[in-house]
Amino acid sequence: GPKVLQIPSHQIIDMGQMVTLNCDPVSNHLYFYWYKQILGQQMEFLVNFYNGKVMEKSKLFKDQFSVERPDGSYFTLKIQPTALEDSAVYFCASSPGDNYAEQFFGPGTRLTVL
Amino acid sequence: GDSVIQMQGQVTLSENDFLFINCTYSTTGYPTLFWYVQYSGEGPQLLLQVTTANNKGSSRGFEATYDKGTTSFHLQKTSVQEIDSAVYYCAMSSGTGGYKVVFGSGTRLLVSP
């Protein structure tokens, strides 16, 4: 079936550094999402993105977070600067315009902030 | 805001046992309810979608229904197999704000042979 790819699978950085998580969504999908899952906890919505704009963001989407998809390439989540509490697995998802409900998830990027 | 409550953190069964996982939801919108399954090392994948109360969705031997009166929905399978061992999430989208999905906390299913 359709695949969402995420690069890298694991990233370790020092607190205060910048990190960019990359997502290669399913081609022709129009809606893009980021979710955060702290180890042992439930997956929580961060942000969704459509037509070049953020449509909705949660309280977890701090000012240090930003998303973009320049020229239809990777959909990225940037955190600058990172904090210890940003350590989690970040899942990217995409969905087609004609069935918003079915989201296809990537395998996740495990971010460890030291 | 929208919320989904999934109380069963872990369920341990033997092969051919009956599986039943229940969730409750809360929304002011019109919900579409889902069950996602997550295997180790992978992202969640859609297992079932139920859009109409009292209608059944089914896939891979799993069935899901939801009850609008009690705002609950459940996942069941008559006879589980070891390969069904995974984490199962109930989830909801209310169709507002770009169609975000609100997930329950997940139920880890362990099936022993």
In the DSSP assignment, the letter for residue B68 is T
Q: Is the dihedral of CA B7, B11, B17, B19 positive or negative?
A: positive
Task: State the 10-residue block means of pLDDT for chain B, 113 residues long.
Answer: 89 97 88 89 87 72 88 93 95 71 92 95
Q: Is A56 on the interface with B (CB under 8 A)?
A: yes
Q: Is B58 on the interface with A (CB under 8 A)?
A: no
**Residues A4-49 pLDDT 10s:** 999 999 999 999 999 999 999 998 888 899 999 998 788 899 999 9
Chain B residues in contact with A106 by the CB 8 A cut-off are: 43
Instruction: Give the pairing of strands A109-113 and A10-13.
Output: parallel
Closest listed residue to residue A92, CA positions, set A11, A17, A13, A9: A9
Q: Is A41 on the interface with B (CB under 8 A)?
A: yes
**Residues B49-70 pLDDT 10s:** 887 666 677 788 999 988 888 9
